[in-house]
Amino acid sequence: MSAEETIEPGALGAHIEIEGHAVLTGSCSWTDKTLVTDADWYPRATMSAEERLRFYAAQFPLTEIDSTYYAPPAEQQSRLWSERTPDGFRFDVKAYSLLTGHPTRPRSLWRDLRERLPAELAEKRNLYAHHLDPEAVEEAWRRFDQALRPLHDSGRLGAVLFQYPPWFGPRRENRAEIEALRERLPDYRIAVEFRSPRWLAEERDRERTLGLLEEHGLIFVGVDAPPVSKLPRVFALTNPELLTIRFHGRSDSTWSDTTRSAAERFRYLYSEQELEELVRPIAELAQEAQETHLLMNNCYRDYSVRNAADLRDLLARFAG
């Protein structure tokens, strides 16, 4: 009997309980090409998108949707994600690039908003939010909110992840952008990941940054990243509802190499010892959060799912 055939309908991957607080592990992608085509983690290479998601959900109770960064989802797609996963499953959703100050391909915009662009902008390789008129930007926020409703209404939306670029530093206008998040998406849990080390460089920077997030009910995203990133390994709880940590691997040589695919950039398999060193600080914080999300972003072949299972097992052993 195949692994696929032994899965009960509606099966949900195991999570850990630490002092009664749920700790969920998972991969930042269940659809990465190298996982689907270059690894044997899925039982069949011919599985449909629906079958793969159901299989994944039976192994882990958590994943991240990365495709929403490159193009906003359709409401129907969110509905399908909800229908294809069991109760208790969580999707953390990455915010559309236009909303986080990243370069955005004009073709990813909703068609009617794209048609409102001046010809010289529509033909550009990338554009930014400031290229759009204020009404179009507000409409983009509204539509992104609406597209996530099925996930929210079904209880499957974990958090919306706002990952800001390295050039988004701790300036007044950027702090104001952070402060506005709760008003823009009032119904959702919002997580914030900084790629500029300056937000956390010194103790006073950390205190100010974490205080800003706590004041506005936002979730700080701790990261484990390569030393070359200069991103400090800070794990902190700024909203008691959710603790979130993302693991980006520790490959210095590929971190900033944008000529590589995302899978190649984050190609790194954590050793058991590397993960074990992080178990105690994670477990201690997890006892203070209603729920904890631990997401492996080393999405090369089966590296992320292997490490997500490794970390789950180590936490289970620690919780005893």
Residue 290 lies in a domain: yes
CA distance 76 to 197: 37
5 inside domain: no
The secondary structure of 135-182 as a DSSP string is: HHHHHHHHHHHHHTHHHHHTT-EEEEEEEE-TT--S-HHHHHHHHTHH
Tokens 């926020």 correspond to 141
Along the 320 residues of the chain, how does pLDDT read in single tens digits? 355 555 677 899 999 999 999 999 999 999 999 999 999 999 999 999 999 999 999 999 999 999 999 999 999 999 999 999 999 999 999 999 999 999 999 999 999 999 999 888 888 999 999 999 999 999 999 999 999 999 999 999 999 999 999 999 999 999 999 999 999 999 999 999 999 999 999 999 999 999 999 999 999 999 999 999 999 999 999 999 999 999 999 999 989 888 888 888 999 999 999 999 999 999 999 999 999 999 999 999 999 999 999 999 999 999 98
- Is 10 part of a structural domain of the chain? no
Q: What is the dihedral of CA 226, 32, 60, 241, to 10 degrees?
A: 60
For residue 7, tell me if it sits in a domain. Answer: no
In a domain, 2, yes or no: no
Indicate whether 4 belongs to any domain: no
Domain contains 6: no
| CATH number, domain containing residue 287 | 3.20.20.410
Domain assignment present for residue 9? The answer is no
248 and 224 Cβ atoms separated by less than 8 Å: yes
| pTM listed for this prediction | 0.95
3-state secondary structure of 232: coil
Domain count for the chain, please give it.
1
Query: What domain range includes position 103?
Result: 16-319
